[in-house]
Amino acid sequence: MAKKTYLQALNDAMRQEMERDENVFIIGEDVGKFGGCFGVTQGLFDQFGEKRVRDTPISESAIVGCATGAAAAGLRPIAELMFVDFIGVALDQLFNQAAKMRFMFGGKAKIPMVLRMPQGAGVGAAAQHSQSLEAWFMHIPGLKVAIPSDPKDAKGLLISAIRDDNPVVFLEHKLLYGLEGEVPDEEYTIELGKGEVKREGSDVTIVAVAKMVQEALAAADKLAAEGISCEVVDPRCLVPLDKEIILNSVKKTHNLVIAYEGVECCGCGAEIAAMVAGEALDYLDAPIKRVAAPFCPIPFSPVLEQTYLPNADKIADAVRSIR
């Protein structure tokens, strides 16, 4: 396997699926010759042309609406928004149309669309360009939510998302784009809804999401030196959620810390905590701990932003508090 960045893995997935299926196309702002806001679609315009890599006006509602209609008509669009924060102006197209059409049409319509959106803080982009909004999408029946944490998962999950007959919200943390890892050159899929144990452990389960997986692994390294063995579980998808892998880990370690970058209040970790409390409470030796962002807009100041963000040190402190 070759070493590739998270960004290159996403690009590979789209290129291979576009070569395999002529119904797959890309739509979004500056996805053409410019190669996308973060460079993820670079080179695809030159290979596939403007018919299949389509630049749009600055109108998120048009992008998501067009993707929804194209999917209903039998195509397989990959729509890109520059930042997840901009989904607010296209919520009707996503939540009321794409998510509900298959149900409301009695299964006669399929909506095989992928909505790719960068999210996450740490680059000084301030409150309107840095949010982690995965919990919003988890709340809407009809949407699947994929959130890969490394290059190998990014490629396999994106290929699965493109082939799925339902709308998939595909969330990419901006600070992961440069992360390198081993990625197969050939096409492969990772089942949506199947998590992975990223590190085996016996004392505490850390369920981590997106960039927090990397932070959790760093925390686990620190804690190992203190004699605390952490198991790091990456759900990889939040909808459908791999409950079994989380519950099995908690039943083994008897302790749970959940790490995610979104605001702690009503975040994805709240759902995971409620699920574990409802189905494995008797296995817990200590309260469930969440490590997440405070209930506050994301600061622009680099010093304040770093103070705001969850990280490996905060995850380690949460683990120590229940050991």
Per-residue pLDDT of 264-290, as tens digits, reads: 999 999 999 999 999 999 999 999 999
Can you tell me the mean pLDDT for 75-85?
Answer: 98
Could you give all domains of the chain from N- to C-terminal order, each with its CATH number?
2-183 (3.40.50.970), 196-321 (3.40.50.920)
Give the number of other Cβ atoms within 10 Å of residue 96's Cβ.
13
The per-residue pLDDT for range 1-56, each reduced to its tens digit, is 899 999 999 999 999 999 999 999 999 999 999 999 999 999 999 999 999 999 99
CB 241 within 8 A of CB 192: no
| CA 215-221-222 angle, 5° bins | 90
Can you tell me the mean pLDDT for 112-120?
Answer: 98
Q: b/e map of 227-257 (b: 16 or more CB within 10 Å)?
A: ebebbbbbbbbbbebbbebbbbbbeebbbbb
CA distance 300 to 123: 9
Q: What is the DSSP letter of 260?
A: E
- Residue 243 has a pLDDT of 98
CA 75 to each of CA 33, 113, 133, 206: distance values in angstroms, whole numbers, following the listed order: 22, 8, 27, 39
From its phi and psi, is residue 254 left (phi > 0), alpha (psi between -120 and 50) or beta?
Answer: left
CA distance 263 to 297: 9
What string of DSSP letters covers 275-291? HHHHHHGGG-SS--EEE
Question: Active-site positions?
Answer: 129
Looking from the CA of 227 toward its CB, the CA atoms found within 13 Å total 1
φ and ψ at residue 208, rounded to 5 degrees: -125, 150
CA distance 120 to 224: 28
CA distance 131 to 85: 6
As a whole-number percent, the residues of the chain with pLDDT over 70 amount to 100
CA distance 160 to 154: 10
The per-residue pLDDT for range 212-264, each reduced to its tens digit, is 999 999 999 999 999 999 999 999 999 999 999 999 999 999 999 999 999 99
- Residue 1 has a pLDDT of 83
The per-residue pLDDT for range 168-225, each reduced to its tens digit, is 999 999 999 999 999 999 999 999 999 999 999 999 999 999 999 999 999 999 999 9
Per DSSP, helices labelled H in 225-311 are 243-253, 268-280, 302-308
Which residues make Cβ contacts (< 8 Å) with residue 272, sequence separation at least 6?
Answer: 207, 235, 241, 246, 258
- Residue 1 tokens read as 């396997």
- Residue 242 has a pLDDT of 98
In this prediction the pTM is: 0.97
- Residue 181 tokens read as 């890892």
CB 213 within 8 A of CB 181: no
